[in-house]
Amino acid sequence: MEILYAVLLVIFLLAGLIAVPFGFPGTFVILAAAFLYALVTEFAVITWQTLGVLLGAALLAEGAEAVTGLVGARRYGSGKLGVAASIVGGIAGAVLGAPILFGLGAIPGALAGAFGAAVLAELVQGRSSREALRAGWGTFLGRLAGTAVKGALAVAMAVICLQRVFG
């Protein structure tokens, strides 16, 4: 039975990692998978302490993604509508890009969607094309940095789980 649990854990860890470029909370998918594995194995290898570390990493990852995206957008002059549009555009771009290159298209799709939506939102608000492009660029950079930090922490979380189970 433990082999089945380990296989399911790996599947959900992969799902969590795949969710990150889409802008979804994949770190919490990883945390939930670890918690369920710990629960069914009576916390034999994934302990409460390990879950605490994973929770801290998940909160840090999600917070870092939000903050870097906001800082990048605001630093380059984006307004609240531009920031909100970039989030929606990033998700839409990731979904539209996902079928390309076996899912790898989600990453550039998310970045392009965030950029395009931010630019469009700024233009709708009456900003010049130069200001809108600058705001879009800041959104792009912030989203890129946030996704990189979140992705790195998600990988670290998955490695911790795998090391505890298979190490």
pLDDT at 80 over 80: yes
Q: Report angle CA 140, 156, 34 to the nearest 5 degrees.
A: 115
Reported confidence tier of residue 50, pLDDT bands at 50, 70, 90 = very high
User: What is d(CA 11, CA 30) in angstroms, rounded to the nearest whole number?
Assistant: 10
Mean pLDDT value of segment 144-164: 95
Quote the domain boundaries for residue 147.
2-166
pLDDT of residue 79: 83
Query: 3-class DSSP state for residue 105?
Result: coil
pLDDT at 17 over 90: yes
Domain count across the chain = 1
* Per-residue b or e along 96-130, where b marks 16 or more CB atoms closer than 10 Å to that residue's CB: ebbeeeeeebbbebbbbbbbbbbbbbbbebebeee
